[in-house]
Amino acid sequence: MQDFGYDRHIYSVLEVNKTSYENCIDTGFIKNITRGGGRDVFQLTKAKTYYFLSGGGFCWQGMKVAIHVTEAEVAAPVPLIKSGSSASDSCGIKLNHTLVVLILVLMWTIFFK
């Protein structure tokens, strides 16, 4: 899941393909994520690279992000658990959340000084 926060009267969040992402093309987008009050949530449900940009020329100023989602690796069989220990479940998709947060923080600081 990715959370986008922005002023929806100025910016937009568009899911685009790789070519549109690389060339900041905001027409013919896959999906317009811009809804609600500028606090939109987008589910990253498939293992693929998602490309997002802001339309209206803001992409050329760096307001774009690519998020690579991979399938979770299959863990080796869990050995017998000793009493007092616990095991944790793995999720179906993993995402480098730290990288995404860093990118969004950098975008926020650049455009909202």
Contact 53, 59 (CB under 8 A): yes
Q: How many CA atoms within 13 Å lie on the side-chain side of 88?
A: 2
pTM: 0.61
Query: Would you say the C-alpha torsion 22, 43, 38, 4 has a positive or negative sign?
Result: negative
Q: For 60-111, how does the pLDDT look when each residue is reduced to its tens digit (9 = 90+)?
A: 999 999 999 998 777 767 666 555 544 444 454 555 555 565 566 566 556 6
Q: For 20-43, how does the pLDDT look when each residue is reduced to its tens digit (9 = 90+)?
A: 999 999 999 999 888 766 667 778
